[in-house]
Structure 1
Amino acid sequence: MSSTERARTAARRAFGKADGAVPAPVTVFDEVPAVANLDPGLLGALRRAAADAADDGVELFVNGGWRSRQYQERLLREAVSKYGSEQEAARWVSTPDRSAHVSGNAVDIWPPAARAWLSEHGAGYGLCQIYRNEPWHYELRPEAVRDGCPPMYADPSHDPRTRQ
């Protein structure tokens, strides 16, 4: 487990399911807030992909999805503490105002086999890895079905949507 995943696990223990915490990975079909509060388009694409991945013997799990503003703020504070500055933390965690997780437009996929399957097949569902440093982070890009996924940002600090 990476240091980022350990920090997220600790934060999940402090927050409950109502805040979007996922104490253990759940499926894209589970009715927990982290999944149920995702953007309907993203959730539909995930469920279609999960059904097809299952046909290939791969299970897609969510270990992060929609999050409350408070939960995202806590993750950000922990990242600042861990990485020593807001600038370094921004490579891993966005502010509540800029986070695609808070808006329900991002999902973190587990295990690595599921990420590998999505890396190969996700564009066909409009599901794209957005950040090179976060192979678990996927967002919906409907145009990817036709055009393929856009180039990845190095990390969230390079994404114009997350800049302050």
Structure 2
Amino acid sequence: MQETIAMSKREGARLVRGCSVVLAAVALVFSATPTHATSASTSVGLPGGNKIDINAWHCTLYTNACDWKASTRMSGKRPKMARWIQNRAELEAHGVRVSVSISKNPEATLTMVRKSLGVVRWKNTNASISDTFGQMRPSRGTMYVSTRSCGSAHVAGAIRVSEKCAYAGAS
């Protein structure tokens, strides 16, 4: 009888440890900053071997909030400082009657175009990068979120890059 009770206690402890591991794994998958992400990028070549890279990124799995990032940066053999470099990120919740609240870095501006779409913009002067980041908090009816990152720049003299975009989200 004592052997049966001791065996049951060991099995119970093992079951509790197993449940704890499963719950920790589920919490990791559904955290606000998951390891799964959707991203996109595009590049524009410049004279002299440099280029402008436009990047969009956001999480794919979330419960309440989803981290996002968007950037426009100069890269290449010898990237120079641009007179100005700008990133404009469109952050949207998709579904029926959805809304989204958006946080962003302090130097950027946020304009809510409608309840489900916000635009974050930052124009950086005398720099080689303009990056924005924050969190989206979509409403319950949201099917998916998307990030569209658009970049432009005035590098030097007549070298200007008109706005080019990268879209991360369902098509």
**TM bracket, shorter-chain basis:** under 0.3
- Larger fraction in strand: 2
Q: Of the two, which has the highest radius of gyration?
A: 2
TM-score w.r.t. the length of structure 1 is 0.24
| More helix, by proportion | 1
